[in-house]
């Protein structure tokens, strides 16, 4: 989920293991930049890390949540 938050914050370069690429590619293809910005804004507006994660997760595409087992 953090990749969508980072993208929403304007990060344009990510470093990860090659094994993570398919999941990250899948997640980013399912979300527009505007959606990533909304996910990022909702996470930043939260008062705790747990609330931020819950707020961001609520905006993640349901298919992504299911396929990547984010729930």
Average pLDDT, integer, range 57-66: 93
Does some domain include residue 67? yes
pLDDT digits (tens, 9 = 90+) for 26-52: 999 999 999 999 999 999 999 999 999
pLDDT at position 46 is 96
Does some domain include residue 18? no
Does some domain include residue 17? no
Residue 17 φ then ψ, to 5°: -75, 150
Does some domain include residue 36? yes
Range of the domain at 41: 1-10+32-71
Question: What's the total number of domains in the chain?
Answer: 1
pTM across the whole model: 0.81
Does some domain include residue 49? yes
Closest CA to 26 of 57, 67, 55: 67
């Amino acid at each position: 989920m953090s990749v969508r938050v980072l993208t929403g914050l304007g990060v344009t370069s990510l470093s990860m293991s090659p094994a993570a690429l398919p999941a990250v590619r899948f997640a980013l293809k399912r979300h527009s930049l505007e959606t990533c910005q909304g996910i990022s804004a909702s996470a930043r507006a939260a008062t705790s890390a747990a609330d931020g994660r819950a707020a961001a997760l609520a905006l993640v595409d349901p298919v992504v949540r299911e396929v990547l087992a984010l729930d």
